[in-house]
Amino acid sequence: MALPSFQSPNRVLGSFCSTLLFLVSLQWRLASSALLLSLKHHHSHFHHERPMIQTNQSTCALFVGTWVRDDTYPLYQSSNCPIIDPEFNCQMYGRPDSDYLKYRWRPLNCELPRFNGVDFLLNMKGKTVMFVGDSLGRNQWQSLICMISASAPGTQTQLVRGDPLSTLRFLDYGVTISFYRAPYLVDLDVVQGKRILRLEEVAGNGDAWRRADVLSFNTGHWWSHEGSLKGWDYVELGGKYYPDMDRLAAFERGLKTWANWVDSNIDRSRIRVFFQAISPTHYNPTEWSTGTGTGGVSATTTTKNCYGETAPIAGTTYTGSYPEQMRVVDMVIREMKNPAYLLDITMLSALRKDGHPSIYSGELSPQQRANPDRSADCSHWCLPGLPDTWNQLFYTALFF
């Protein structure tokens, strides 16, 4: 059966700029001054739209910077946040080191406002925040709940887990933090026992999304799964069914379907829309190991993945491969009538080779833990950990 062909997205040349002016009075909640005055969009192979923070007489890119040690972190303890799933709960499942918890993201020439959960609840009173996507979205959802709970420990909560929708409600404030599982964003149906990935349909998922006040979408990892991990039996496109197709082309078509649906169905005067950039993986140590022992990597590193990594990569750039999917994300978001806010966490996350569960996951058997070369999880992130920074950036984008 002939497979449909797609043209690869052309690199967008030049720059696309738009300015969104805010004037927000600084209150007691800020540990440091950071006032968001404009959004500037840059495009190149490695850089995408990045909000700029104006501080004093200098500007800094929110998603460009370095990781610095800060002993006031983490913002919570995993033992005090029972919502954390076993696959993210590294401390509970035997991770012996803890320095990875002590790093704070510092954008160039500015400081992020410190996360304050009570402030978050007051600003979102009576509203719903919904994360939509795959397990990386669930990673971030649980992180945000833990961060808020640590700031407001006496607040009554109500948790309802389900599939596809799980919610936690902070009853005293009427704030709901939800996760909606939709790893492709487009619909995945089961017909006569076969899983059909419908690249041109979102309606089956989308009805639940309209009820949120803030939506944060993510997708990416499931599109590249092969073999037994492949999430579909057939891909439907243009009324035809294919056992498989070019994965980047399928991702582009599915993401365009999502973008068109958002433009046509989401009331942007009422609902804030974010898109979480591709979360990087760390399965190839040659991408960060120079053989010199720099960046927290031993010159004698012999592991085949993130196992044993205990420190971030030094500097502001990652020398390894950049997710090819991000060029598609950048293009599709720019073509939206009302572009989603791109939370561009890819590069800053790529520096955190130390932040993955590796073998310290409740999802692994003792036999799997004994074989880190084959079993280490270098895709998800420990909690507490990197997703807390994603939420600190999310908090900054929402309120400053």
- Active site residues per annotation: 135, 377, 380
The residue written with tokens 């500037």 in the block is 40
Q: What span, in angstroms and rounded, lies between the C-alpha atoms of 349 and 329?
A: 17
What burial letters (b/e) apply to 4-34, b meaning 16+ CB within 10 Å?
A: eeeeeeeeeeeeeeeeeeeeeeeeebbeeeb
Question: Is residue 85 a contact partner of residue 142, using CB atoms and an 8 Å limit?
Answer: yes
Q: What span, in angstroms and rounded, lies between the C-alpha atoms of 231 and 234?
A: 9
Q: Is 284 exposed, middle or buried (0-12, 13-18, 19+ CB in 10 A)?
A: middle
Q: Which residue, 282, 316, 395, 355, is CA-closest to 99? A: 355
325 Cβ contact partners less than 8 Å away, ≥ 6 residues apart: 220, 223, 248, 251, 278
Length of the chain as a residue count: 400
Strand order in the sheet with 50-55: 35-40, 50-55, 58-61
Q: Which residues pair with 35 in a beta bridge?
A: 54
Q: Which residues pair with 180 in a beta bridge?
A: 132, 165
Give kind and range of the element (H or E) at residue 130. strand 128-133
What amino acid occupies position 31? A
Alpha helices in 210-300, H assignment, sequence order: 247-265
13: its two tokens: 């040349």
Report the chain's C-alpha Rg in angstroms.
21
Q: Which residue, 118, 74, 79, 119, is CA-closest to 100? A: 74
Q: What span, in angstroms and rounded, lies between the C-alpha atoms of 223 and 145?
A: 27
Q: 389 by DSSP, 3-state: which?
A: helix
